[in-house]
Amino acid sequence: MKTKETENLEETFIISHTFETDKKTLFNMWIDPETYTSWMGPTGAEMSFLNSDIKENGTALWQMTTPDQLTKYGK
């Protein structure tokens, strides 16, 4: 039997990447949508930020449409 909790876990994924750069460049990658989308999205995907709260413990909400026309959201 699936519960709400297990259903949500099945929809969760984690992205991990190690960058060899300085802190300023890495921070700017997260706050500049053009730079972020060039790193994040697969080739041919269109990505945009819906909102962002750039501060410690802040959040960002983005939308990505892949070449096969699937639209995904992340934060």
The Cα 62–Cα 60 span in angstroms is 7
In this structure, of 24-28, 38-42, 52-56, 59-63, the range with the lowest mean pLDDT score is 38-42
pTM score of the predicted model:
0.55
The Cα 70–Cα 59 span in angstroms is 23
Query: Residue 16 above 80 pLDDT?
Result: no
* β-pair partners for 67: none
**For the segment 35-54, what is each residue's pLDDT rounded down to a tens digit?**
777 777 678 888 888 888 87
Domain map of the chain by residue range? 44-75
Query: Residue 4 above 60 pLDDT?
Result: no
Mean pLDDT of the chain: 78
